[in-house]
Amino acid sequence: MLIAFNKPFNVLCQFTDRSQPPRATLAGFGLPANVYAAGRLDYDSEGLLLLTDNGSLAHRLTDPKHKQPKTYWVQVEGVATEDKLQALRDGVQLNDGPTLPARVQLLETAPALWERDPPVRFRKTVPDAWLAVTITEGRNRQVRRMTAAVGLPTLRLVRASMGPHALGALQPGQWREI
């Protein structure tokens, strides 16, 4: 079984949370029994999360040697100049080593997304931009660290696809079997 789930903002990619106060988890969304997240999506990120009950499928989806592309829509703070975009395309140096090159596209308009709760802060004096960023690695908070490294801090991050699987029309908290 493979499930596509639109993980809302501020939800953990696990079914339990031992922190106090407890945070929202996958347990609150009526997902089938015995499925587990294939990979991670940060607590403060949104979008496509794949869940499965098949360990070998989870491995194929997440093992870096399989280089499954993951595409994110990223709202960044600042002006996304061609130099900054090219630096992301070339790969940037992070504290845990250089990243592989990324596919990066400046989006002309923001993707058609749901409202986030709470909303992203808006500042009239600071421009922002939307990027489509595709990576084949999966380091901890990698896209956020990459955009910060080129001077474009991430304001909002939504995973749009993972391998051949796309978010599609799923709204936050909704899921479908693939």
Residue boundaries of the structural domains of the chain? 1-66+165-178, 69-162
pTM of the model: 0.94
Q: Please write the tens of the pLDDT for every residue from 30-73.
A: 999 999 999 889 999 999 999 999 988 888 888 777 778 999 99
Q: Please write the tens of the pLDDT for every residue from 111-124.
A: 999 999 888 887 78
Active-site residue set: 42
Is there a common fold for 1-66+165-178 and 69-162?
yes
> Which CATH code fits 1-66+165-178?
3.30.70.580
29 SS3 class = helix
> Which CATH code fits 69-162?
3.30.70.1560
CA distances from 36 to 32, 39, 45, 47 (A): 10, 9, 18, 16
Distance (Å, rounded) from C-alpha 3 to C-alpha 178?
A: 6
